[in-house]
């Protein structure tokens, strides 16, 4: 069935040019996208967008839940899904690091459709009954990790770096999926885990006997923020005003990045991606209230200079929405060049080192990657 979904999605071709109204947009009859587990912010927002597409274009959007970044991208790479609602894992996949430095992966040419930036933040949520109120108090506590999800794990390490903590300073508890990690916190198998503040599992923890708290990352602490961004360059300070345990009159200083950020492979034709993004832009009012955070998909709320480039089909739709500048294009072109450098470095390295074991292979690749980026005068990001 999934093969049929993508076969149909891949033949969606837009033949008109210039400004397009809602009724002129042509979407395939069926389409599959991947997201985090059922009930998460990414899943719920994908469902809200899918409902709009069903109501407006009679397109059946199937949202496939997956517990980690590798599982989310596998259907895209295999041609069984058109897009994925991801987070910073899209950056790690592009860079070919962590799980994506394995032989079967390498740097992935991912590109953005639209990303979500709303009233929510992304940080380490902590069970309130631990008594923890500051990041530094996580020392020695049980921090949830998800196997195969470098985004969640690295994000958690970026947050605790605010207080100068590293993985060695906490007790890592591994779970099979994002949902399992949060159930683990609720069941007292862990004390904390990374999430967006509006995710369903965080709400479940809030309403459980344990409760939830988000230790703040004060924006005035420049040294703390420098440590955060050294581990997670994609984080920016923001004031969270919505989510589990957060209200507009009791905001919390923390960080954020676009999540979910809908991505696809660069191999997808602009004729497929353009109408999808166009539909999301012109029908924004029809889904913006469909799930917490969905309002952050507005064209004017996009993070234009992030770390993964926009797909050419998305660029066309953004231009028509009046939300694309020459400076945005320059930044986007630079990210495409980065992907080319990484792809070339991987091709050369993998040909010469195919016989290495996985550990040695990854270690060697990270050195080759650093050398290639330095030669191209591009930042490493993973020293």
Q: Report the pLDDT value the prediction gives residue 206, as an integer from 0 to 100.
A: 98
Same-domain status, 143 and 173: yes
Domain extent for 147: 122-256
**210 domain-assigned:** yes
Q: Report the pLDDT value the prediction gives residue 239, as an integer from 0 to 100.
A: 95
Q: Report the pLDDT value the prediction gives residue 381, as an integer from 0 to 100.
A: 81
**381 domain-assigned:** no
The pLDDT-based confidence of 217 (bands split at 50, 70, 90) is: very high
Same-domain status, 16 and 91: yes
Same-domain status, 297 and 184: no
The pLDDT-based confidence of 149 (bands split at 50, 70, 90) is: confident
Q: Report the pLDDT value the prediction gives residue 21, as an integer from 0 to 100.
A: 53
Element (H, E) at 127: strand 122-127
Q: Report the pLDDT value the prediction gives residue 260, as an integer from 0 to 100.
A: 92
The pLDDT-based confidence of 1 (bands split at 50, 70, 90) is: very low
Asked if 51 and 89 count as a contact pair (C-beta separation under 8 A), the reply is no
Cβ-proximal residues to 380 (8 Å cutoff; 6+ apart), any chain: 369, 370, 373, 374
Outline where the chain has alpha helix (H).
Answer: 2-9, 41-57, 69-77, 89-95, 150-160, 178-186, 200-206, 222-231, 270-282, 312-320, 326-352, 358-375
The pLDDT-based confidence of 148 (bands split at 50, 70, 90) is: confident
Domains in the chain, number = 2
Helix and strand totals (H; E) in the chain: 12, 12
Same-domain status, 249 and 321: no
Q: Report the pLDDT value the prediction gives residue 123, as an integer from 0 to 100.
A: 97
Domain boundary among 334, 355, 373: 334
Q: Report the pLDDT value the prediction gives residue 22, as an integer from 0 to 100.
A: 54
Same-domain status, 9 and 128: no
The pLDDT-based confidence of 14 (bands split at 50, 70, 90) is: very low
Average pLDDT, the chain: 92
Tens of pLDDT, residues 121-144: 999 999 999 999 999 999 999 999
Tens of pLDDT, residues 89-100: 999 999 999 999
Rounded mean pLDDT, 154-183:
96
Rounded mean pLDDT, 61-77:
94
CATH value at residue 88: 3.40.190.10
Between CA 47 and CA 273 the distance in angstroms is 18
Q: Report the pLDDT value the prediction gives residue 23, as an integer from 0 to 100.
A: 56
- What percentage of the chain has pLDDT greater than the value 90? 84
Tens of pLDDT, residues 251-295: 999 999 998 999 999 999 999 999 999 999 999 999 999 999 999
**110 domain-assigned:** yes
More confident position, 338 or 257: 338
Q: Report the pLDDT value the prediction gives residue 137, as an integer from 0 to 100.
A: 98
DSSP 278-301: HHHHHTGGGTTTSSTTGGGG-GGG
**104 domain-assigned:** yes
Asked if 105 and 96 count as a contact pair (C-beta separation under 8 A), the reply is yes
Same-domain status, 194 and 306: no
Same-domain status, 245 and 153: yes
Q: Report the pLDDT value the prediction gives residue 8, as an integer from 0 to 100.
A: 42
Outline where 187-269 has alpha helix (H).
Answer: 200-206, 222-231
Q: Report the pLDDT value the prediction gives residue 5, as an integer from 0 to 100.
A: 43
Element (H, E) at 11: none
Rounded mean pLDDT, 322-346:
98
Q: In this structure, are strands 171-175 and 142-146 parallel, antiparallel, or unpaired?
A: parallel
**53 domain-assigned:** yes
Rounded mean pLDDT, 218-238:
93
**351 domain-assigned:** no
Q: Report the pLDDT value the prediction gives residue 146, as an integer from 0 to 100.
A: 94
Same-domain status, 82 and 162: no
**327 domain-assigned:** yes
Rounded mean pLDDT, 44-52:
97
**343 domain-assigned:** no
Same-domain status, 84 and 196: no
Indicate if the pLDDT at residue 17 is higher than 70. no
Domain boundary among 256, 281, 309: 256
């Amino acid at each position: 069935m999934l093969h049929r979904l993508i076969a149909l999605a891949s033949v969606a071709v837009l033949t008109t040019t210039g400004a397009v109204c809602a009724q002129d947009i042509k979407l395939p009859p069926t389409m599959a996208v991947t997201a985090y587990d059922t009930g998460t912010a990414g899943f719920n927002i994908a469902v809200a967008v899918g409902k709009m597409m069903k109501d407006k274009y009679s397109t059946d959007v199937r949202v496939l839940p997956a517990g980690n970044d590798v599982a989310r991208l596998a259907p895209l790479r295999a041609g069984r899904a058109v897009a994925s609602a991801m987070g910073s894992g899209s950056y790690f996949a592009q860079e070919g690091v962590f799980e994506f430095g394995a032989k079967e992966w390498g740097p992935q040419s991912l590109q953005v459709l639209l990303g979500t930036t709303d009233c929510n933040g992304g940080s380490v949520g902590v069970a309130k009954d631990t008594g923890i109120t500051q990041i530094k108090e996580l020392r020695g506590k049980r921090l949830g990790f998800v196997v195969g999800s470098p985004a969640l794990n690295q994000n958690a390490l970026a947050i605790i770096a605010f207080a100068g903590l590293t993985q060695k300073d906490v007790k890592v508890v591994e779970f099979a999926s994002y949902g399992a990690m949060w159930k683990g916190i609720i069941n007292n198998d862990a004390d904390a885990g990374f999430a967006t503040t509006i995710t369903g599992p965080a709400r479940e923890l809030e309403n459980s006997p344990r409760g939830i708290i988000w230790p703040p990352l004060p924006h005035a602490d420049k040294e703390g923020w420098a440590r955060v961004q050294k581990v997670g360059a994609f984080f920016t300070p923001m004031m969270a005003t919505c989510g589990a345990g957060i209200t507009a009159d009791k905001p919390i200083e923390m960080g954020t990045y676009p999540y979910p950020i809908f991505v696809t492979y660069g191999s997808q034709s602009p004729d497929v991606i353009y109408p999808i993004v166009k539909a999301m832009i012109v029908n924004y009012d029809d889904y913006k209230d469909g799930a917490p955070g969905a309002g952050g998909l507005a064209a004017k709320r996009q993070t234009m200079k992030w770390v993964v480039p926009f797909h050419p089909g998305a660029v066309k739709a953004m231009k028509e929405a009046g939300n694309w500048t020459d400076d945005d294009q320059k930044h986007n072109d630079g990210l495409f060049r980065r992907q080319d450098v990484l792809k070339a470095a991987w091709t050369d390295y993998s040909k010469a080192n195919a016989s290495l074991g996985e550990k040695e292979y990854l270690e060697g690749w990270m050195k080759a990657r650093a050398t290639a980026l330095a030669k191209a005068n591009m930042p490493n990001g993973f020293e």
